[in-house]
Amino acid sequence: MFHFDRRLLQHFDWVMLLMVLLVGAMALINLYSSTHIPDRGASSIFYKQLLFFGTGLVIVLVVLTQEYQKIAKMGYVLYGIILVLLVYTLLFVNPIAGSQRWIDLGFFNLQPSEPTKLALILVLASCYANLDVPNGYRLRDLIKPGILILCPFVLIAKQPDLGTALICAIIFVSLTLYVRLRWSTLAILSTTALGCTFVGWKFLLKEYQRKRIETFLNPEADIMNHGYQIMQSKIAVGSGNIFGKGFLEGTQGHLQFLPERHTDFAFAVWAEEWGFAGSVFFLSCYFFMIVWGINVALSAKDKCGSILAFGCTMLIFWQAVINLCMIMGFLPVVGVPLPIFSYGGSSLLTNMAAIGLIMSVRMRSFPPSPASS
């Protein structure tokens, strides 16, 4: 039966909750601005996201009530379901804008590649926590985690959704580096990775993906097509100046020069309207949230908790970094949302669940009370 430890409440992670609420509030303010219809107020997108955010908070609560070790074990079930959904998407879903990402559930377009990230963290945490090898992992110890990452990676890359596939890969790499590796394993792996990158560029990337990367390297040469998004995003950010154009006053966003302004490029709208000052405030919240997440990973009482917290933090961190770099013209346009900030139900709920996991680890970091056992 459900057993409630009073200390759970005492150790409730108010810091993370505060950060999430702050970021969430900014996200909603920004979403209102980027999607509102002049003279008519908020768009349906705004209310939808508000609903998602509420749902996200409920998910946080649900995750909190469960032992994260249990959740990690359940990860395999989630992982299995998601693999099925990913295969289903590839086989039966009609492509939207050239890729098969969404499953229409009627009330909600599920993007199974989003929860994949979380499922991956869960199964990897569970796997690494239970795999104990003295002096660090050998190459053969990585076969199982390798397979765990490869299945969803291939399926997602096939959609094609390079951004999400990339995030999955980075999370895998981060987690694997976080646990103990032998030096020899590390050397072999990094050599292989370099080789794969080369082969992938040469043979596996689709033409448009390669084009995106090439364009990124020289965006001004191709302004009307692939460079357009990066250019417009940079203009939006740059024209924000120090204090921004003000709420609802951004021209790049409202005049629709900015592509994907409520999803992947949401931060550009923020930067345009709130300027350098607002952006730095926003980034500080983010930074604090991530650093707090690392702190939680450190304070975890067991391996599983630490890996989980670290994985979830890295999930948020890498998505944020890739998204921000893309918006500011450091990276090519890959479809990676800014966690909690970008519009999108699948992404928001996934990230909220990740936050819930971090909070759960935090709350359970104290030693088990003698009374409970």
Which residues contact another protein by CB under 8 A? Answer: 7, 10-11, 132, 174, 177-180, 224, 232, 234-242, 251-252, 254-258, 271, 275-276, 279-280, 283, 286-287, 290-291, 294-303, 306-307, 310, 314, 317, 321, 324-325, 328, 330, 365-369
Nearer to another protein, 84 or 144 (CB): 144
Nearer to another protein, 185 or 279 (CB): 279
Nearer to another protein, 27 or 361 (CB): 361
Find all residues with CB under 8 Å of 204, minimum gap 6, and list them: none
* Residue 99 beta carbon to another protein: minimum distance, rounded to whole angstroms: 20
Instruction: Kindly report the length of the chain.
Output: 373
Distance CA 22, CA 340 (A): 10
* Residue 290 beta carbon to another protein: minimum distance, rounded to whole angstroms: 6
Nearer to another protein, 123 or 285 (CB): 285
Distance CA 312, CA 356 (A): 9
Nearer to another protein, 76 or 287 (CB): 287
Cα 18–24–25 angle (5° rounding)?
Answer: 90
Distance CA 337, CA 315 (A): 11
CB 258 within 8 A of CB 238: no
State the pairing for strand pair 109-110/103-104.
antiparallel
* Residue 106 beta carbon to another protein: minimum distance, rounded to whole angstroms: 27
How far is residue 19 from each of residues 15, 24, 26, 205, 220, measured CA to CA in Å? 6, 8, 11, 38, 37
CB 34 within 8 A of CB 262: yes
Nearer to another protein, 119 or 300 (CB): 300
Nearer to another protein, 190 or 256 (CB): 256
* Residue 207 beta carbon to another protein: minimum distance, rounded to whole angstroms: 18
* Residue 215 beta carbon to another protein: minimum distance, rounded to whole angstroms: 17
* Residue 233 beta carbon to another protein: minimum distance, rounded to whole angstroms: 10
Which residue from 188, 154, 149 is spatially nearest to 172, judged by alpha carbons? 149
Distance CA 308, CA 121 (A): 7
* Residue 16 beta carbon to another protein: minimum distance, rounded to whole angstroms: 12
